[in-house]
Amino acid sequence: MRNFSFSEDGGKLLIYTNTKRVWRYNTKGDYWVYDIGARTFRQVGKERPASSLMFAKFSPDGSRVAYTSEHNVYVEDLSSGQAKCLTSTNDSRKLINGTFDWVYEEELDCRDGFRWSPIAVISHTGRSMPTRSGIISC
């Protein structure tokens, strides 16, 4: 286990493990959710390649987890296990969604390029203005 965080209500634990280095820091890995009340574990992004998830975080209500994988932003519903891709690189190696390239990491100490709000996941595309990646019903 490399790191962990709790949902806002304290009922779930997001566990970060099996990490891989990207530039200078271990920012790729696998994530698991432990539901404290139900005493169950479930892997987040299990359909994605091993150790490919980055910057996973709970939604404000704790029912979903957003993360990046292979330069796209995903939201996974924890009750159904269904993941939805909110962005598309259109097979371009130049487009990076939800994270930053090495210059931002080195010069500005920025790695994580998306945040939850009460109604949406906001992602920075690497351009000067943030854009709304997708509305998620709350």
Backbone angles phi, psi at 107, to 5 degrees: -90, -30
Which pTM does this prediction carry?
0.78
Is 89 within 8 Å of 102 (Cβ atoms)?
A: no
Q: How far is CA 100 from CA 23, 83, 137, in A?
A: 11, 22, 27
Rounded percentage of the chain residues whose pLDDT exceeds 90: 48
Backbone angles phi, psi at 105, to 5 degrees: -65, -45
Q: Let me know: does 120 contact 135? Beta carbons within 8 Å.
A: yes
Cα-atom radius of gyration of the chain, to the nearest Å? Answer: 14
Query: Is a pLDDT exceeding 80 seen at residue 37?
Result: yes
**E-state strands within the chain:** 3-6, 12-22, 25-35, 40-44, 53-58, 64-69, 72-77, 83-85, 114-116, 120-124, 130-135
Lookup: tokens for 125: 């595309």
pLDDT digits 0-9 by tens, 38-83: 999 999 999 999 999 999 999 999 999 999 998 889 999 999 999 9
Tens digits of residue pLDDT in 9-20: 999 999 999 887
Cα separations in angstroms, 57 against 14, 50, 61, 92: 8, 18, 11, 25
Per-residue pLDDT, 118:
73
